[in-house]
Structure 1
Amino acid sequence: MEVTLLLLDKASPSESDHELLDPFVSLAEFSVSPPGGFRDHPHRGFESVTYMLQGGIIYQDFNGHKGTIHEGDVQWVTAGRGIIHSEMPDEEVNNGIQLWINLSSSDKMIKPKNKVISSTGIPRAEKDGAEVKVIAGDSMGVQSPFYTKTPIMFLDFTLEPRAHTHQTIPESWTAFAYVIQGDEGVFSSSDSSTVKAHNVVVFGTGDGVSVWNTSSSRPLRFLLIAGEPIGEPVVQHGPFVMNSQAEIDMTIGDYRNAKNGFEMAKYWRSE
């Protein structure tokens, strides 16, 4: 099992890191095969987006949700006040992206939710050699029907060789791109250096991002992700994302004592 951690998912992420990438907590590209997997584990205080690039993940949680997220599908989990779930490999090779998005202090203890969007249900648009899948937000006149608690956009772009695209982003939002495929993408400025696959580009302030695929033969595929900053303190401890150490301590106590959202921890085990 391999997991590449790309943003803030560190043992002790600094306050300045969280401020820089607010409202995002972490981005991970994972590759998992049997008998590996992510067995029963808890979460609280944020939302996660799992986007499958290859294979599938079998999901179960203590609220009765169960199913397989296949290639091209998206699963959006609002952990809220507490959830325990498992994510296990469906095929021999299973690759995907998982993004953690912070929740505001007023939403951290909301009821958990789980929504799966099938590949065929994701809106798409295409223009001048640029194709986009609109998982959240809007692009090329197409809008995702999915509502996100923390306002974000999550766009999967593919640019044909020599193609170019421009995406409008609210000026106050945090924005970054993650390159999935292609080593000759240029982001925001025509005289910038190219960005290779499996790298993150974090953008400064501005109301949009321009991207060129300078390759003459290979497509460029990247995720463009942006969100409205929350502007609150962030304390992360493993699977919990709260506003203070006291809230982290309370969350650990709630999980150990199976209360305040973790009541099913006493009884539930995944199959």
Structure 2
Amino acid sequence: MSLSEPVRVLRTIRGMPTSDGAGVRLTRVIGGPSLPDLDPFLLLDEFGTDRAEDYLAGFPEHPHRGFETVTYMLDGRMRHRDNHGNEGLLVPGSVQWMTAGRGLVHSEMPEQESGRMRGFQLWVNLPGREKMTAPKYQEFAPDRLPVVQPADGVTVKLIAGRVGDTVGPIVQPATDPVYLDITLAADRAWTYTLPEGHNAFAYVFEGGLVVGEQENARAVARQELAVLGGGEQLHLSAGGDGAHLILVAGRPLREPVMRHGPFVMNTRQELMQAFVDFQEGRF
């Protein structure tokens, strides 16, 4: 595949309203019937509300095994704790990349009683050889996430991946992820080279976007996810309202996925063992 080939939109997805945790209202974009997964990505939830009753119940204690969760806060404050003694506060602009590995019991509860709560949670699969590793966190405050302006009217915050000589702080060799928060001013454009062979998507949460040029051009509206493919040269251009999006890419694992709720393994036997281990307190 030539590195000069343009990226095109293979399909667009609109999320489905749902609730999770103790009743937190979400939009599920990956992980629903329209797009069950996009290897190595298992789930993408967008949360965003000014109504405290939509988020106050939070996400009380729940287990995880076999994958990673990535929480990126845009607005609001969320405190997380686990049964290994880890605790932290996610503030606006911060990110937490949690590797659940062989298992932990985790809670995420809002540390506010009013105001806006907005952000994303992404689930990233782990290869079979890493599913039973020790849990760990990569957690970064807003000032630890580099911001670059690679073109006029274009601002990129790097969570993972590279833009020019700047590299995001998250490291995961198994999937070599890219996670960029991109803002395009009105009528501005930018071309980014995606890593060869990665699966990728763009999710627009403010404004509107066109992916590609000329015959490959396709509009992506607010709250639409574009599944990307076809090449590595990704051309993004904003309309008159500008655009704010996340661009996420990862090396596919191409392994069998056996999942149920918060457990993601390779075989049914491993999945059943996860339930036994959790019930017997081995997380």
8 A contact 1:108–1:242 mirrored in 2:
yes
Verify: 1:227 aligned to 2:236, yes or no: no
- State how far apart, in whole Å, the 2-side matches of 1:197 and 1:57 are: 25
Runs of 4+ in 1 over 4 A off after TM superposition: none
Task: Please state how far the C-alpha of 1:124 moved relative to its aligned partner.
Answer: 1.1
Corresponding residue for residue 146 of structure 2: 123
Other structure's SS at 1:246 match: helix
Aligned-residue Cα RMSD (Å) equals 1.7
Letter in 2 for 1:57: M
Provide closer, same or farther for how the CA distance between residues 146 and 193 of structure 1 changes in structure 2, counting only shifts above 3 A.
closer
- State how far apart, in whole Å, the 1-side matches of 2:26 and 2:184 are: 26
Verify: 1:199 aligned to 2:224, yes or no: yes
Greater Cα offset, 40-49 or 201-210? 201-210
8 A contact 2:206–2:244 mirrored in 1:
yes
Residue among 79, 99, 124 paired with 1:78: 99
Task: Please state how far the C-alpha of 1:45 moved relative to its aligned partner.
Answer: 0.4
Residue among 131, 137, 140 paired with 2:161: 137
- State how far apart, in whole Å, the 2-side matches of 1:58 and 1:243 are: 31
- State how far apart, in whole Å, the 1-side matches of 2:178 and 2:69 are: 14
- State how far apart, in whole Å, the 2-side matches of 1:232 and 1:41 are: 25
Task: Please state how far the C-alpha of 1:35 moved relative to its aligned partner.
Answer: 3.3
- State how far apart, in whole Å, the 1-side matches of 2:32 and 2:263 are: 11
Other structure's SS at 1:179 match: strand
Letter in 2 for 1:238: G
Letter in 2 for 1:123: P
Residue among 242, 249, 259 paired with 2:272: 249
Verify: 1:147 aligned to 2:164, yes or no: no
Matches within 5 A, 1:54-65: 54-65=75-86
Provide closer, same or farther for how the CA distance between residues 41 and 27 of structure 1 changes in structure 2, counting only shifts above 3 A.
same
Corresponding residue for residue 29 of structure 1: 46
Letter in 2 for 1:160: A
Greater Cα offset, 84-93 or 249-258? 84-93
- State how far apart, in whole Å, the 2-side matches of 1:47 and 1:58 are: 18
Other structure's SS at 2:43 match: strand
Other structure's SS at 2:129 match: coil
Residue among 196, 212, 216 paired with 1:171: 196
Task: Please state how far the C-alpha of 1:84 moved relative to its aligned partner.
Answer: 0.6
Deviations 1:57-82 (A, max 9, x none): 11111111112100000011000000
Corresponding residue for residue 25 of structure 2: 2
8 A contact 1:172–1:205 mirrored in 2:
no
Other structure's SS at 2:179 match: strand
- State how far apart, in whole Å, the 2-side matches of 1:5 and 1:224 are: 17
8 A contact 1:171–1:208 mirrored in 2:
no
8 A contact 1:234–1:244 mirrored in 2:
yes
Letter in 1 for 2:255: E
Task: Please state how far the C-alpha of 1:170 moved relative to its aligned partner.
Answer: 2.0
8 A contact 1:167–1:208 mirrored in 2:
yes
8 A contact 2:207–2:239 mirrored in 1:
no
Other structure's SS at 1:203 match: strand
8 A contact 2:212–2:218 mirrored in 1:
no
Corresponding residue for residue 268 of structure 1: none
- State how far apart, in whole Å, the 2-side matches of 1:111 and 1:151 are: 19
Residue among 69, 93, 109 paired with 2:90: 69
8 A contact 1:51–1:73 mirrored in 2:
yes
Structure with greater proportional strand content: 2
Matches within 5 A, 1:43-54: 43-54=64-75
Task: Please state how far the C-alpha of 1:190 moved relative to its aligned partner.
Answer: 4.1
Corresponding residue for residue 113 of structure 1: 136
- State how far apart, in whole Å, the 2-side matches of 1:193 and 1:231 are: 28
Highest RCO, 1 vs 2 (Cα 8 Å, sep ≥ 6): 2
Greater Cα offset, 141-150 or 35-44? 141-150
Other structure's SS at 1:77 match: strand
- State how far apart, in whole Å, the 2-side matches of 1:58 and 1:188 are: 39
